[in-house]
Amino acid sequence: MSMCLHFFDKTGQFEPFDIDDVLTFLKAQKPGFELTIAVDDEMGKFAGFFSEVRQILKNKIDIGYGKRKVCTCLTLIHRGHNNYVLANTCYLYKNDVVVSNHKRV
């Protein structure tokens, strides 16, 4: 099962969130669940927020690759001005081990 939330800058619907709340939500899901949050941010209003979230995740995670069938998955995609995209994927295991990989497009 997966869920994708895609926000476009012009709609004004995206609001910064507490990443710990999202991680708690993911840990409560069955293994294999995937959540993707994508934000098109042409004006760069949320660049600071995504930078902060990446730093928080960096402090909580081990770098590596997860196995989607035995963990839940969070992908954050931030498309800034000039179509610069930074995607972060985190895999959360039930024993609180979190691994991540990062991709810049």
- Residue 68 confidence (pLDDT): 54
Residue 12, judged by CB atoms within 10 A of its CB (0-12, 13-18, 19+), counts as exposed
Dihedral sign, CA of 34, 103, 70, 55?
A: negative
CA dist list (Å): 11 to 8, 40, 41, 60, 97: 6, 10, 11, 32, 36
- Total structural domains within the chain: 1
pTM: 0.76
pLDDT tens-digit series, residues 9-61: 776 688 899 988 988 888 888 888 888 988 888 888 888 998 888 888 777 66
CB-based contact 16:46 (threshold 8 Å) = yes
Partners of 76 in beta bridges: 37, 88
Place of tokens 């934000």: 39
